[in-house]
Chains A and B, each alone.
Chain A
Amino acid sequence: MPIRTLSDLNSAYDEGRWHQQRILKNTSVSHSSQWIDVTFASGQPAYDPRIGVSGKFTPCVATGNDAVWFPSIPESQHRHLVGITARLSQSTYIGPASLVVFDLIGYYPLIDGDSTDEQLFDNSIELPRYKDGETVALVVINHVAPAINAGVAIIKYIDSKDQEKTATVSIANNGVGTVCSGTSSSASSDVGPVTVSLANGTSGIKKILSVQYSVPPGGLHCFYLVRVLTTLVTGDNAVACEKDMYVANATMLPRIFDGAWIGMFERLPPGTARTTTLFGHLTFAWG
């Protein structure tokens, strides 16, 4: 029976239809006022530089503990994220951090930040989850090689309503392992939001057709397609912060599809750039 009520949720606990998965990520890249992808640190889930064939959509389907692990369930049941607990330890504590938990649906790796040519993307493989792209967001990561400048990207994509659209956004230069999604159309040093601000009316992205840097930032970039599952604000240094979805998320329990590749973005408030370690767990229940 699907989990719809507190009674359903407690029954899931009583009957063993739940799983808790610990996460522990070691020292991150140094950052402040920036979003980073914690995957670029060792620990569990493991480090993953998101490489592959340049510009080819690479679907992410979790197997084993390459991402946050959860058990398989019968097809007739729905799995939900019912809770998250996280603690961040900062090398020099300055303030609370923000976390965004996401399902990485796939990515386009190794996009050349030095080229001003239009780089066409290979979409021969469709999205493994959220197939119509509704609620799917775009995040740009600087990976493998560092960018050297802030840049401007012209991104052509198909939205969740199958309409072709174009967005011109800044690409910030925040270093390897950091998010460089931008909002404006100038090569300023925006630190930006976690997701790219897309064209008006876009409520999801199905595929990216191409990118062209009108101002090349250098380095190599990776374009993620993600579905945000929940957010969490951590507290004082190393203090565990718990979010019980039923109590603190208006009873809404984010659904976790089979194969979901769960990761996290992390943002520190302004101040001296610093490293963090992350320890916590995610709790899943199904019915």
Chain B
Amino acid sequence: MAIQSIDNLVSAISDGRSARYDWNKITGGTAYTAGRWYDTAQLAGIPVATTYPGTTKSWVTCDETTGFGLPHAGNVSTSIKHLLNMAAWSTAATGVPATLMLVDVQGYWNGIDMNVATSQALTGTPSLRYANGAGCRLFLTARATTGATAHNLSYSYTNQNGTAGRVNPVTVSCTASAITPHIVHSGTAANNYGPFLPLASGDTGVQNVASVQLSAASGTASTAVLVLAKPLAQITLSVTGLMTEKDLLNQIPSLPIIKDGACLTWILGAGAAVAASTTFSGGTEFVWG
């Protein structure tokens, strides 16, 4: 039975229909910049880092078994699983302030060439956990440091209504010399947007992506990964070593649903410069009924 009351929730916890999983990520050897977002799935720790393997520019579906997502106790259908609460902290002063956003990675296209200015066709048909891709958003994260030449990003996608040929509604600038795992279009420069790529007017999600194109080659052989993910919840970090908790029974969005097979990862918004090798840790609790 779906959890629709406090009684249901207490019963679910009493009956053991809950799980807790902790995580730990450490940033790489290069400092992060304030105002930018970073993909922690590529960072060492628990869960393990991913290199986003697969055939270049071909869709790869992700689920809980893919390996780099946070465990959440497997499939529970016909019950419905919820994110009950979460906590996070950083052990270093250089890790705050920051925002952590939990996303369900549907999959990705790897091998986006950041050193060509021609259109790059993406192949494959995404299999999504969210009907029609509603709420699913895109971000492009660097796999290797990109070149120093300024470049904008354009893209053509299919929206939640199945309409193909939708394109970016505004100019989207990428950061030159973006490091791994920078979400390259996020930052504080003009025409930076983040953490997600802006969608055309009225669009609320993405089903598929046909192509991406840079306005100029970045100048250095490098690749990036275009990730399609559903944002679920977020938590803010303020004080070094102090755990921040978020109770999603009483806060909004209310008890986000965790789909069977969800591939849960964090993206990190840096509010200040984050020193190299800064640790972020936390815990997540799930309940189902």
A interface residues, Cβ below 8 angstroms from B: 6, 9-10, 13-17, 20, 22, 24, 42-44, 46, 63-65, 69, 71-74, 82-83, 85, 87, 89, 236, 238-240, 242, 244, 246-247, 277, 279, 281
Contact = CB atoms under 8 A, between A and B. Distances in A.
A74 B202 contact: yes
Contacts of A46: 190
Ranked 9 nearest A-B pairs via Cβ: A16-B135, A72-B201, A16-B204, A279-B271, A240-B236, A13-B253, A24-B35, A44-B188, A239-B238
B202 A22 contact: no
A71 B191 contact: no
Tell me whether chain B's interface is mostly helix, strand or loop, or mixed. Answer: loop
Interface string B108-147: 0000000000000000000000000011110000000000
Given A16-B205, A44-B35, A71-B201, A64 B170 contact: yes
A83 B169 CA distance: 24
B283 interface: no
A9 B252 contact: yes
B99 interface: yes
B43 interface: no
B202 A87 contact: no
Nearest to A45: B188
Given A10-B252, A239-B239, A15 B204 contact: yes
Contact of B252 (A22, A85, A244): A244
Interface stretch (B8-16, B67-75, B192-200, B274-282): B192-200
Interface in B234-282: 234, 236-239, 244, 250-254, 256-257, 269, 271-272
A89 B244 CA distance: 18
Contacts of A244: 251-252
> How many B residues are at the interface, by size bracket?
35 or more
B219 interface: no
Nearest to A244: B252
Contact of B199 (A9, A24, A71): A71
A187 B136 CA distance: 57
A44 B194 CA distance: 11
A65 B191 contact: yes
A73 B134 contact: no
Given A44-B188, A73-B202, A246 B252 contact: yes
Contacts of A73: 201-202
Contacts of A24: 34-35, 188, 271
Contacts of B198: 69, 71
A65 B198 CA distance: 11
16 contacts: A6-B252, A9-B253, A10-B253, A16-B160, A22-B99, A22-B186, A24-B188, A43-B188, A44-B35, A44-B187, A85-B99, A87-B236, A238-B97, A239-B238, A246-B252, A277-B272
Nearest to B254: A10
A239 B202 CA distance: 35
Contacts of A22: 35, 37, 99, 186, 194-195, 269
Contacts of A69: 170, 193, 198
B96 interface: yes
B222 to A, nearest CB: 25
A20 B171 CA distance: 18
Nearest to B244: A240
Contact of A240 (B37, B97, B256, B257): B97
Name the residue in B34, B189, B257, B271 with the highest tally of chain A Cβ atoms < 10 Å from its Cβ: B271
Name the residue in A14, A43, A73, A240 with the highest tally of chain B Cβ atoms < 10 Å from its Cβ: A240
A74 B199 CA distance: 13
B62 to A, nearest CB: 19
A73 B236 CA distance: 28
Contacts of B189: 44
A244 B233 CA distance: 13
